[in-house]
Amino acid sequence: MKYRDFGNTGIKVSEIGFGCWAIGGNDHGNSYGPTTDKSSTDAINKALELGLNFFDTADVYGWGHSEELLGKALRGKRDRVVIATKVGADFYQGTGFQTFTPDYIRFALEKSLTRLNTDYIDVYQLHNPPLKLISKEETFAILRELKKEGKIRAFGVSVFTPVEGITAINVGQPDCVQITYNIFSCRPEEQLLPRAFETGCAIIAREPLANGFLTGKYDTAPKFAAGDFRKNWPMEYVQARSDATRQLSFLKKNGHQSMAQAALKYPLLNQAISTVIVGLKDVDMVEENLAASDAGPLSAEEIKQIHELQALGFNLKSSN
């Protein structure tokens, strides 16, 4: 496993991180289908064994279950890991609420600290706030206070669009920005990633496998289980991603490189990326995906072919 600087924070993180959305389970829907706590815990332990040290979760994943599970699995290993979590999806009121007031953030942080069995959070992120809040400097004031108090080591914001990310950097000077970045969704390359690198803001690249499609397992339009948020996607969108995946079949090299490994290498080409977080539900996923860090980089010809397909748009509908 290779490691990178987490922006200007002084924190070192594994270049492949553990995305903890899926391990929250799907009891409340809006996840990646069914999981078991044993499988999830085994995956966490295997990831640690293979050198991964960055775990990205959110309080809303499984309505606290992802944090609880992570806190139990990391008991006695806290000094070996970097824990990132998020705040703002106010599941305490049910679904569909967003709250970013200072009082709520303090309340939610204490809940997360309890579930994670720790007295500090390494990276605390606002969870997809609207642009109108990102545009206000006072939105970030509470995070600066928590950092001064030692409750958090660094703060950031998870965003949907590059414009939101650039605005956050210019207005709030966060330690990190998290955004979707993969072969299909490469818009951050245009302005956000250069701006982040210039300012020393860490970038957490999420969805590097495009919600599973860049694993190559969905080369025909799949049917997703109940509780899997992809089940609600329009069929034409799912079919378009399946078709695009087939165009990338040249990335698979029998015995040497899976499509998932190649897809993970793509965002890691960019020097602005501190870590790429991938959903890991079981040990097999951990072993395959983490192997991408020690494998060789994408070849010049592979990169050229990817860029040519990106220029054509893959005939995909934009997810950003």
- Please give the pLDDT value at position 206: 98
Is residue 210 within 8 Å of 185, Cβ to Cβ?
yes
pLDDT 10s per residue in the chain (320 long)?
999 999 999 999 999 999 999 999 877 767 787 889 999 999 999 999 999 999 999 999 999 999 999 999 999 999 999 999 999 999 998 777 999 999 999 999 999 999 999 999 999 999 999 999 999 999 999 999 999 999 999 999 999 999 999 999 999 999 999 999 999 999 999 999 999 999 999 999 999 999 999 998 886 777 787 778 888 888 888 888 888 999 999 999 877 899 999 999 999 999 999 999 999 999 999 999 999 999 888 999 999 999 999 999 886 654 43
What pLDDT shows up at residue 29? 66
Domains and CATH numbers, the chain: 3-315 (3.20.20.100)
**CA nearest 270: which of 183, 210, 209?**
183
Q: Which among 65, 62, 138 is positioned nearest to 100, based on CA atoms?
A: 138
The one catalytic residue in 3, 32, 61, 104 is: 61
- In the chain, at which residue ranges do the beta strands (DSSP E only) sit? 3-5, 12-14, 16-19, 54-56, 82-87, 121-127, 152-158, 176-180, 202-206, 273-279
Confidence (pLDDT) at 229: 83
Instruction: Sort residue 48 into left (φ over 0), alpha (ψ -120 to 50) or beta.
Output: alpha
| Cα distance between residue 123 and residue 251, in whole Å | 33
H or E, element range at 71: helix 65-73
Distance CA 248, CA 187 (A): 19
Residue 224 is predicted with a pLDDT of 83
From residue 259, how far is each of 131, 177, 301, 303 by CA, in Å?
34, 26, 15, 13
CB 13 within 8 A of CB 50: no
Please state, in angstroms and rounded to a whole number, the distance separating the CA atoms of residues 258 and 269: 17
61 is catalytic: yes
Residues in a beta bridge with 16? 276
User: Burial of 92 by CB count in 10 Å (0-12 exposed, 13-18 middle, 19+ buried)?
Assistant: middle
**Measured between alpha carbons, how far is 260 from 313 in angstroms, rounded to an integer?**
20
Q: What pLDDT shows up at residue 319?
A: 42
